[in-house]
Amino acid sequence: MAKKKVLLVSASDICLELLKDYLRDSDVQLFTAADRAAACKLALKVRPEMTVIDQDLADGPGLELLRDFCANPLLAELAIILLTNNDISLDSQNCTHTPIIIGKPLNRRVFLELGRSLLEKIDRRQPRVLCRATVICQGNGETFYGTIEDISPHGMYVGGEREVRVGTELLLKFLLPWQELHLVETRAKVTWSNGLRPRRKSFLPAGFGVEFVGLEPKTLDALNDFITYSLLRQPHVSV
């Protein structure tokens, strides 16, 4: 499994080194930035699972970077920890989520407990977009068809009348409705079922959710490109 990515943003080398030291035993990949422009550029490029923003940045307070993230539909869903020793109000930030605020000076135990708790929830918060493409599903010696209701970099929800048990391994084949049609072929595992009677989520059609297994890097790049394109033109799916 790929390491989760964590972006650390601070103008203080001491703060960055302290955060790196706190996270040295965590199975994460670290990225750093000192100012708003660099942080936004890096966040768009690497899509970190968690971003830690210090109040002191090279080009202004960390709260301004939080506003930048909230204003960008591609960054508004990022999980954020804000480090500050000031009392601030987030009521007017128009974020789709509320960042965790940790007071300074930092407490290592508090930071690690909150950070790990946040990372444990990340996989359920990946942006998903509508797709409506046909997918060919092969498993247990059978072939059947479904409709991709929504898709993320890590999985999809497949609508259809076929009952599929949780844990079933499938081979999926589908075309991304992209500027140039991209054929995707990947293995996946059924992680939950929204069966015919009763459905766990009645607002979704009958079907099942899958997690991709061993997705090729070029396929992941194509998925991320499609999702980025779609997020600019439609709201993400939140279910």
Of residues 150 and 113, the one with the higher pLDDT is 150
Q: Is the pLDDT of residue 118 over 70?
A: yes
Tens of pLDDT, residues 181-215: 778 899 999 988 887 667 767 778 899 999 899 88
Flag whether the pTM goes above 0.75: no
Torsions phi, psi of 14, nearest 5? Answer: -65, -45
Burial of residue 127, with CB atoms counted within 10 A of its CB: 0-12 exposed, 13-18 middle, 19 or more buried: buried
Amino acid 239: pLDDT: 44
Which residues in the chain belong to E strands, given as ranges? 4-9, 28-33, 50-54, 56-57, 60-61, 79-84, 100-103, 129-130, 134-139, 142-151, 155-159, 169-176, 182-194, 207-213
Of residues 148 and 75, the one with the higher pLDDT is 148
Of residues 232 and 192, the one with the higher pLDDT is 192
Q: In the chain, where are the structural domains located?
A: 4-124, 129-231
Confidence class for position 124, pLDDT limits 50, 70, 90: very low
Of residues 87 and 154, the one with the higher pLDDT is 154
Least confident interval from 7-11, 17-21, 80-84, 102-106: 102-106
Token pair for 202: 């009645």
Residues above pLDDT 90, as percent of the chain: 32
Q: How far apart are CA 93 and CA 90, in angstroms?
A: 5
Of residues 129 and 231, the one with the higher pLDDT is 129
The CA-based angle 27-31-32, given to 5 degrees, is 135
Query: Any idea which architecture 129-231 has in CATH?
Result: Beta Barrel (2.40)
Say what the alpha-carbon torsion angle 67, 151, 216, 184 is, to the nearest 10 degrees: -140
CATH number 3.30.390.30 given to 4-124: no
